[in-house]
């Protein structure tokens, strides 16, 4: 029997994370609405740019996320110096990574003309594309502060800054897109400029908070730290030798060792979703539209479960630092229970209210009919989606990321895509079959992640 406090602690940390995710979703919706008023070409430009930039950003996001469990481990052991050196090295790594990703996105832009995209869309996207690309630099710097404070167990200030800058983004959208409030009318480029300015403000706001709040100063103070002479596994953090709290190749290696598999796992999952959308497009524009409705709602429910998973990562990393095996299990399983409970609620909503939800997004009878059927399948796999993401969060708290990366390759690429294709086309199930392949991958992922966690717990006892 898991004590109530474990559920409460997960919810306390998860709630600000969920609100942050919700704020980001709101900005995307507002971008779509505001740019959509300019016309189909401008909306297509934002859609194409976002699809490319999001996939590339996932690499930087995954690597930045490594800082949370590593910091959480040392925070639980009251090793402030170790936390500080991790932060400094992560900041350096993320600045370098942001420059690399920006260079990659700048190189990709001219190649879009080779893939048969409409010239009108290509002419419209440059301003937005380059503005959002440049915004990756301040955004990854912000993520460094965000993941660091989350490792220290604080998710409130990340939420506060994210929501505040999201509101700023929406106001700047109104000004720069339409030329209101004395700002220049930039059209679709204005949406990109608004994103850039709001993202510049995010790390600035964090720096101000750190200077104001005295409780954080010990974790940002430069000092001499403890490092070991020999390189050990991340699961056995090193003890001290006198070294300045500065940039070290060993710490950069630790961050990459944890961050790269996280980035790979997230990229593989996103790729499977993207390819599923491509297959839906083979069935026609109405099926594609219905899939977009289903994907939007799936993203919303996943956002909440992912917030619980983030709480699990933080709390499990703290328990791991204290070597408190009982608390590791209780925090992990309580997070999984919460994730399942959330997804059961959404499953019931999709099963009995799918048609109502579809009518909110579309007035086309065919689109509504297809979306309603898709919601029935989505309802079947929501529990497995909640299980796999929260179990994965617990594994990240233990810095166990390499094996889940291989599991992601198997589940998302070798199972989801082939099974979805076979069910959808050779077996003639269409859109239902494609989503069925997605469900097969999620069921396998939930099973493998849970078994992996149980195996690690038995090994630690």
pLDDT at 247: 64
Distance of CA 28 to the CA centre of its chain: 14
Q: How far is CA 324 from CA 75, 146, 317, 390, 454, in A?
A: 14, 25, 10, 19, 15
Task: Tell me which long-range contacts 199-203 makes (C-beta under 8 A, separation of at least 24).
Answer: 199/135, 199/138, 199/139, 199/142, 199/165, 200/135, 200/138, 201/165, 201/168, 202/138, 202/139, 202/142, 202/161, 202/162, 202/165, 203/138, 203/141, 203/142, 203/145
φ and ψ at residue 155, rounded to 5 degrees: -110, -5
DSSP structural state of residue 243: E
Structure confidence at residue 231 as a pLDDT band (50, 70, 90): very low
Task: Determine if residue 116 is left, alpha or beta; phi over 0 gives left, psi from -120 to 50 gives alpha, anything else beta.
Answer: left
Strand (E) or helix (H) holding 104: helix 80-111
φ and ψ at residue 449, rounded to 5 degrees: -65, -40
Structure confidence at residue 227 as a pLDDT band (50, 70, 90): very low
Over range 203-227, report the average pLDDT. Answer: 78
What stretches of 179-220 show up as alpha helix (H) in DSSP? 188-212
Burial class from Cβ neighbours inside 10 Å (0-12, 13-18, 19+) for residue 129 reads buried
Average pLDDT, the chain: 89
Report pLDDT digits (tens) over 334-378. 999 999 999 999 999 999 999 998 888 788 899 899 999 999 999
DSSP structural state of residue 415: I
Task: Give every CB contact of residue 74 below 8 A, 6+ residues apart in sequence.
Answer: 80, 82, 83, 86, 237, 321
pLDDT at 259: 95
Q: Is the pLDDT of residue 449 over 80?
A: yes
Structure confidence at residue 98 as a pLDDT band (50, 70, 90): very high
Report pLDDT digits (tens) over 172-201. 999 999 998 889 999 989 999 999 999 999
Q: Strand, helix or coil at 1?
A: coil
Report pLDDT digits (tens) over 241-276. 334 445 677 788 899 999 999 999 999 998 998 888
DSSP structural state of residue 234: T
Report pLDDT digits (tens) over 117-172. 678 888 888 999 999 999 999 999 999 999 999 999 999 999 999 999 999 999 99
Residue 136 half-sphere exposure, CB side, CA atoms within 13 Å?
Answer: 29
Among candidates 415, 378, 382, which has minimal Cα distance to 290?
378
Task: Give pTM, 2 decimals.
Answer: 0.88
Report pLDDT digits (tens) over 100-122. 999 999 999 888 887 666 788 88
pLDDT at 233: 44
pLDDT at 100: 96
Contact between 32 and 45 under an 8 Å Cβ cutoff? The reply is no
Dump the DSSP string for 348-390. HHHHHHHHHHHHHH---HHHHHHHHHHHHHHHHHHHHHHHHHH
Report pLDDT digits (tens) over 318-333. 999 999 999 999 999 9
Q: Where are the domains of the chain?
A: 16-247, 260-461
């Amino acid at each position: 029997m898991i004590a109530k406090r474990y559920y409460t602690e997960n919810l306390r940390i998860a709630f600000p994370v969920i609100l942050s995710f919700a704020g980001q979703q709101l900005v995307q919706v507002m971008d779509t609405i505001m740019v959509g008023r300019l016309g189909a070409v401008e909306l297509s430009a934002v859609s194409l740019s976002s699809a490319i930039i999001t996939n590339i950003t996932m690499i930087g996001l995954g690597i930045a996320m490594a800082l949370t469990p590593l910091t959480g481990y040392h925070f639980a052991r009251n090793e402030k110096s170790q936390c500080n050196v991790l932060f400094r090295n992560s900041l350096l790594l993320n600045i370098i990574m942001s420059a690399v990703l920006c260079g990659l996105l700048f190189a990709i832009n001219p190649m879009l003309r080779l893939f048969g995209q409409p010239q009108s869309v290509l002419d419209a996207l440059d301003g937005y594309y380059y503005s959002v690309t440049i915004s990756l630099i301040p955004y990854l710097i912000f993520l460094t502060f965000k993941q660091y404070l989350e490792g220290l167990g604080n998710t409130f200030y990340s939420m506060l800054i994210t929501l505040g800058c999201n509101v700023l983004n929406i106001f700047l959208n109104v000004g720069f897109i339409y030329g209101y409030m004395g700002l220049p009318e930039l059209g679709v480029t204005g949406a990109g400029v608004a994103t850039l300015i709001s993202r510049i403000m995010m790390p600035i706001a964090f720096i101000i908070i750190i200077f104001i709040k005295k409780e954080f100063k010990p974790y940002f103070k430069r000092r001499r730290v403890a490092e070991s002479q020999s390189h050990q596994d991340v699961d056995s953090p090193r003890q001290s030798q006198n070294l300045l709290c500065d940039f070290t190749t060993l710490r950069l290696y630790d961050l990459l060792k944890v961050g790269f598999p996280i980035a790979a796992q997230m990229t593989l999952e996103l790729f499977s979703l993207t390819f599923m959308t491509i297959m839906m497009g083979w069935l026609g524009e109405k099926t594609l539209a219905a899939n977009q409705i289903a994907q939007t709602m799936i993203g919303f429910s996943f956002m909440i479960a992912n917030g619980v998973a983030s709480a699990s990562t933080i709390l499990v990393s703290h328990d791991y630092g204290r070597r408190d095996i009982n608390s590791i299990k209780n925090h992990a399983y309580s997070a999984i229970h919460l994730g399942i409970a959330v997804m059961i609620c959404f499953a019931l909503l999709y099963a009995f209210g799918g048609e109502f939800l579809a009518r909110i997004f579309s007035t086309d009878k065919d689109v509504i009919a297809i979306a309603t059927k898709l919601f029935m399948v989505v309802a079947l796999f929501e529990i497995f989606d909640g299980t796999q993401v929260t179990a994965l969060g617990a594994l990240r708290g233990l810095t166990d990321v390499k094996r889940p990366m291989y599991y992601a390759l198997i589940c998302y690429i070798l199972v989801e895509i082939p099974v979805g294709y076979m069910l959808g086309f050779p077996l003639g199930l269409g859109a239902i079959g494609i989503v069925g392949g997605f469900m097969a991958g999620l069921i396998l992922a939930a099973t493998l992640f849970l078994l992996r966690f149980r195996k690690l717990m038995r090994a630690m006892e």
